[in-house]
Chains A and B, each alone.
Chain A
Amino acid sequence: DIQMTQSPSSLSASVGDRVTITCRASQGISNYLAWYQQKPGKVPKLLIYAASTLQSGVPSRFSGSGSGTDFTLTISSLQPEDVATYYCQKYNSAPPGVTFGPGTKVDIK
């Protein structure tokens, strides 16, 4: 099965900082990569799919890139409301195609 890893596992940054989270697949997954945001005590929310397509209603400071095995989620200017855990996810046909990364917790410094 394809495994998903994320780095870092947590980070602390200042408001306005550019934040980058990396996700790596153990095998190539083309662009079948999604990013979800889960704020504390809340339900996960789809941010990005197909590696770089912003879900409707998601602020433009969020962006995604990558293909194959290496992907990134970038927050261009961190805001207080972005405090959350971010998960990458491989999709496209389940099973065994649905796998989440372990998550990256983002805090404000």
Chain B
Amino acid sequence: EVQLVESGGGLVQPGRSLRLSCAASGFTFDDYAMHWVRQAPGKGLEWVSGISWNSGSIGYADSVKGRFTISRDNAKNSLYLQMNSLRAEDTALYYCAKDSTWRVQGLFDYWGQGTLVTVSS
């Protein structure tokens, strides 16, 4: 059974940093691209970032480019999102999502339960 478990969310002040983690199990992690997708309270879904199976291809939404960094550790079956210079508009539930293929295609066949990030003073 595929499981994606996010952690690292919390309350943080504007301008500060936070690092999210996603622990994956139930599939061959290094065969698939992985993504972060977020959902602000009461709002729709927004793709944040994606990384290919070998970290060779990485993409970011314009809204986070230059502030967020995605990475993965295939030896630990883990995905990360380093979030710097956080803003109030980054407040959201952050989902870890598995891609259906090795490349950054953006078709999400499994999702974690999400970790909540609240940016507020």
Contact = CB atoms under 8 A, between A and B. Distances in A.
- Of the four ranges (under 10, 10 to 19, 20 to 34, 35 or more), the interface on chain A belongs to 20 to 34
A98 B44 contact: no
B42 to A, nearest CB: 11
Contact of B106 (A38, A55, A85, A92): A92
Nearest to A95: B59
B104 A93 contact: yes
A52 to B, nearest CB: 14
Contact of A98 (B50, B109, B112): B50
B98 to A, nearest CB: 10
Interface residues of B, number: 24
Given A43-B112, A95-B59, A95-B60, A100 B107 contact: no
Contacts of B31: none
Nearest to B108: A46
A87 B45 contact: yes
Interface of A: 34, 36, 38, 43-46, 49, 55, 85, 87, 89, 91-103
13 contacts: A34-B108, A43-B95, A43-B114, A46-B107, A49-B107, A87-B44, A87-B45, A91-B105, A92-B105, A92-B107, A94-B59, A94-B105, A95-B62
